[in-house]
A = this chain, B = another copy of it.
């Protein structure tokens, strides 16, 4: 690997520059693309995400592989991924070496999955026995790749608002660059091979994070879920698979990728299903505004009152309150608060971000107090 023709005679390393391996300081204070509160239909769509699952040819799937195998995958992937700019600069973090608080911070920022953060791969494997990493682009954390999650590679590109095509184009371009450096497991008959059969084929999953307070207040969320299930769409919570809806935020995604091209999946979601859901939510909101204006104003202002005055705030309640205030801002019922600031608050009130900002570990009661204090302080500054 040495390059004797280097002028200064130092051993050259033609591998791309490595990105530190440490969590950037004060990451918790930066904004992320998915909370930017911009883009099309951002009154209803928080963010759009394209995710691609890939595996390396000739390597055991993650749940079958030994730690030594996974370490080889990690190294092979790192070399290629570090050479692809995922933002102004890349950050590579090896999670089997990182403390729980760091993993939790990444989860709260939607950079890694819940399973990846917890570090439980099957019944026996613990976090430090599971070589795995995430690499993401700074400063906006728009693109990220998990290495050795359920699949060897899980690439995601997130865009604010309704922008599935843009997210997909960007993910597709990154995927091409990765494929130029790594040999993917691919079957001419089935397409890209993945650990879970639901991802076989394109390996692509599209999802959007929707804010549906209007439909929830109108009691129509179950209807949306049933309709989604009929169209093979999954409705999930704020932190994806297995998580609960948090303050009226729901993740809608396609469930199967086999037998459909990316273009078909995109057309279905972006042209047909999402415009309908968005319209349905907007109509519910308009009905609230027209038929129950006083109740709506009361609900929104009470939420502001509690956020301004409470001395103890749990994360679930805070998200519910922020969700209601977000609705009020979108409908013009409140004009003293801006959505971007609300979104930052949504991230700040998460348990790990809260403790990072406070600079100390806190038990549950302490977190409730600190959360109330932080919310009060931020709202007062708006």
Contacts and interface: CB of A to CB of B under 8 A. Distances in A.
Interface stretch (A47-55, A109-117, A162-170, A292-300): A292-300
A96 interface: no
A281 to B, nearest CB: 23
Contact of A305 (B297, B305, B369): B305
B294 A310 contact: no
A308 interface: yes
A10 to B, nearest CB: 60
A371 to B, nearest CB: 11
A369 B365 CA distance: 36
A349 to B, nearest CB: 16
Contact of A310 (B298, B308, B310): B298
Interface in A303-345: 304-312
Range of interface residues on A (Cβ < 8 Å): 10 to 19
A295 B312 contact: yes
Interface in A251-304: 294-295, 297-298, 301-302, 304
A309 B321 CA distance: 14
A144 interface: no
A86 interface: no
Given A305-B306, A306-B305, A306-B306, A372 B311 contact: no
Contacts of A304: 309
A321 to B, nearest CB: 11
Contacts of A294: 311-312, 365, 369
A365 B292 CA distance: 12
A264 to B, nearest CB: 48
A318 B98 CA distance: 51
A298 B312 CA distance: 6
Contacts of A307: 305
A365 B295 CA distance: 10
A297 B311 CA distance: 6
Contacts of A305: 302, 305-310
A382 to B, nearest CB: 15
A199 to B, nearest CB: 46
Nearest to A301: B309
Interface of A: 294-295, 297-298, 301-302, 304-312, 365, 369, 372
12 contacts: A294-B365, A294-B369, A297-B311, A298-B310, A298-B312, A298-B372, A301-B309, A301-B310, A302-B309, A302-B311, A306-B306, A308-B309
Given A294-B311, A294-B365, A305-B307, 20 more contacts: A294-B312, A294-B369, A295-B312, A297-B311, A298-B310, A298-B312, A298-B372, A301-B309, A301-B310, A301-B311, A302-B305, A302-B306, A302-B309, A302-B310, A302-B311, A305-B305, A305-B306, A305-B309, A305-B310, A308-B309
